[in-house]
A = this chain, B = another copy of it.
């Protein structure tokens, strides 16, 4: 990736930071940098530049090892009640075989995690989590409420197949049945006697799927895809900063965390208040909605040709801090830096100009809506 947020400092390994079944393969495929996500190694850059991998993802197909999206299973008599208690999304009509992007909040409506929930049956849910220990929150709550529910981290390792040509590649392995899989639906598919749960989903707005496999049972399929993938220009990859920012996919820990509520970060679509379901933080969210939010996550465009963001950067208007930039990258087509910033009230209006200092140089920027395209 030759990304400019490299530290030039190596990562050291220990058992505490989980390797995945795919780690040894990926390290032979031009891997240049790692991050750590849910105590698991996550590739963050390869030999090709960030711009090269951006166009590759747009035009061809990539495989990403996202085993760091740990899968927590909630099962048992009270699992549905507990799952609903933790999210502001109405799951009362949820269907087996579907995925639900669901903000997990606490009694103050603070966002604990923003996972995708898979409904396996009426008493079994898989929660594919973002970078915080959802298991501990759920377990604490279940113990406190005396719920009859089993909460365990499964030995599931997920890889994603993302990009324009992902359907063609998948069809070659599984035939029509997989291309007929609807967006945010999942089904089981077999490959050489191993069963994989495959969902039409993934952390890019390009078409794609995610393959959930127990232990290292996904290796055969992973290897086979690379065997046959040449004709589609398949390459190894990883979640892509340019693509996820332009598409408006948010990142827990970068764009928001448990200091924010769903209304502040543009997740209104997943906040269901007009119903009689019971979830934590519901009254708080009703109050916030009535009073209006005090800060808001906005898109930004900045007149700069590079940025090295590894902590929040102040955003000023008339010399006064009014917000902070939380994620950013140079966009090769927009020819400017794009990013997500948290702005205080009343400064979160589209079109508002601001100042920001990047690498000690004063820059100007303007607020815009998310997503960028």
CB of A347 within 8 Å of the partner chain = no
Chain B residues within an 8 Å CB radius of A223: none
Least CB distance from A17 to B in Å reads 7
Measured CA separation A8–B11 after assembly (Å): 7
Chain B residues within an 8 Å CB radius of A39: 131, 253
**Given A136-B136, A136-B140, A143-B144, A11-B27 contact (CB < 8 Å):** no
Measured CA separation A26–B106 after assembly (Å): 36
**Given A7-B11, A133-B132, A139-B310 contact (CB < 8 Å):** no
Q: Which of B1, B19, B112, B326 contacts A15 (CB 8 A)?
A: B326
CB of A5 within 8 Å of the partner chain = yes
Least CB distance from A205 to B in Å reads 20
Q: Are B142 and A14 in contact (CB under 8 A)?
A: no
Q: How many residues of A contact B (CB 8 A)?
A: 56
Q: Which chain B residue shows the least CB distance to A13?
A: B310
Least CB distance from A233 to B in Å reads 25
CB-CB contacts of A33-71 with B at 8 A, as 1s and 0s? Answer: 111100100001100000000000000000000000000
Select the residue from A15, A17, A44, A142 with max chain B CB neighbours within 10 A. Answer: A15
Q: Which of B1, B34, B136 contacts A11 (CB 8 A)?
A: B34
Chain B residues within an 8 Å CB radius of A6: 10, 12-13
CB of A327 within 8 Å of the partner chain = yes
**Given A9-B33, A144-B142, A254-B310 contact (CB < 8 Å):** no
CB of A309 within 8 Å of the partner chain = yes
Chain B residues within an 8 Å CB radius of A18: 311
CB of A145 within 8 Å of the partner chain = yes
Select the residue from A6, A36, A131 with max chain B CB neighbours within 10 A. Answer: A36
**Given A136-B137, A140-B136, A10-B13 contact (CB < 8 Å):** no
Least CB distance from A327 to B in Å reads 7
Q: Are B140 and A16 in contact (CB under 8 A)?
A: no
Q: Are A112 and B141 in contact (CB under 8 A)?
A: no
CB of A3 within 8 Å of the partner chain = yes
**Given A140-B136, A144-B142, A27-B10 contact (CB < 8 Å):** no
Please report which residues of chain A, range 123-161, place their CB below 8 angstroms from some CB of chain B when the two chains form the complex: 131-134, 136-146
CB of A220 within 8 Å of the partner chain = no
Measured CA separation A3–B12 after assembly (Å): 8
Q: Are B14 and A254 in contact (CB under 8 A)?
A: yes
Q: Which chain B residue shows the least CB distance to A325?
A: B15
Q: Are B13 and A5 in contact (CB under 8 A)?
A: yes
Chain B residues within an 8 Å CB radius of A10: 6-11, 32-34, 45
**11 more CB-based (< 8 A) A-B contacts, given A15-B311, A140-B144:** A11-B11, A11-B33, A15-B309, A15-B310, A15-B312, A17-B310, A39-B131, A106-B139, A133-B133, A141-B141, A144-B145
